[in-house]
Amino acid sequence: MKTKYISFRISNIEKKAITMAAKETGLSTSEFSRRAALNMKVTLRFTPEEMEVYKNLHIYHRNFKVIGNLVKSDYFKKNDIILLELEEVIKLIKTHLKKFEQ
């Protein structure tokens, strides 16, 4: 339960910056400031466009995995160059997906 109160002075620009950053994370300015002061993780909310990109990355990741599995199968004559390139693309997409999840 929060019962103590702390106040401090900031400039107009600092107040606007804190307010905007808090709004982007979906937190109140108090909660945002508290987390920042205590070095706690502050996660930004995704814009609708960012969520669409995230969903598309998941679809691409799945599709490239399917293609990679198909190339590895006996159905195709193994082509190491294509396989290596596909694995690299899969790794890159997975790396970007992990950034969203943090």
pLDDT of residue 9: 92
Q: Over the Cα atoms of the chain, what is R_g?
A: 22
Mean pLDDT for each 10-residue chunk of the chain (102 residues)? Answer: 88 88 86 90 74 83 82 68 80 81 61
